[in-house]
Amino acid sequence: MPSTQTYREYALMRGQIVDWSEFISENGWADEHQFKDSALPEKCIAVYYLVDKQEKLVVDRATVITYDARYKEEFKELNLTWVKQFFEVEESDIRQLCSPEESILQPGGEIFFILDSRGVVTGVVADVIHNGVCELAKMTVRKECTGKGYANILMREAIQWAKDKSYPFIELYSSVQLENAIALYKKFGFQTIHLGQHPSYKRCSIIMKLEFD
């Protein structure tokens, strides 16, 4: 691991996220684990240790990295798989997923990947900037990795980035039929600001917003 720590560390358990130093101060057994001396990927900004408190085990390590072109195809394929499961792929999807550097990064946005301890991309999310507004978008978790709390990581990191960039709020566009997703957004403090069909995005029927203090 790098000698100068430039990443944040957390414990993740059943969707609950706790600062790692706070967690190990109360659970000393967790300080010695199989991932302690494992190298971190490039562009790592956060490490989440998946913890089973009952068994006193650190069962996996999830690292969050900023955009890396090596994972461009995973960003595209994971999102297309998710969209096709529920909706039709739209022109804006193709533009952002096929050319993320031009459509997301160049305007000032960012893309985040979660990598498990094997280096497999398990989740992705983007902060997209349009007309000076930060939008949380393109969030999905690999199907076989659902239920581990990765969506909470993606939400947390996307929100934190927007705060760090001094945006006054962050928005998202979704569909009312995605009940689990809407519940997750509400958990993180998003409030509905518009209900009804969006004129440009066929699958959008709700706009939500999280204002920062």
pLDDT per position as a tens digit, 68-119: 999 999 999 999 999 999 888 988 899 999 999 999 999 999 999 999 999 9
pLDDT for the residue 18: 95
Percent of the chain with pLDDT over 70: 98
Interval 127-140: pLDDT, tens: 999 999 999 999 99
pLDDT for the residue 203: 87
pLDDT for the residue 37: 84
Cα–Cα distance measured from residue 133 to residue 136, given in angstroms and rounded to the nearest whole number: 10
142 pLDDT exceeds 70? yes
Contact yes or no for 141/151 (Cβ under 8 A): yes
Q: Which one, of 143, 90, 138, 145, lies nearest residue 116 by Cα?
A: 145
**Tokens standing for 30?**
């967790």
pLDDT for the residue 201: 77
pLDDT for the residue 4: 54
Name the pLDDT band for 213 (thresholds 50, 70, 90).
confident
Name the pLDDT band for 174 (thresholds 50, 70, 90).
very high
Cα–Cα distance measured from residue 57 to residue 136, given in angstroms and rounded to the nearest whole number: 33
Phi, psi of 155 (to 5 degrees): -60, -50
Identify the bridge partners of residue 57 per DSSP, sorted by sequence position.
52
**Tokens standing for 172?**
């998202």
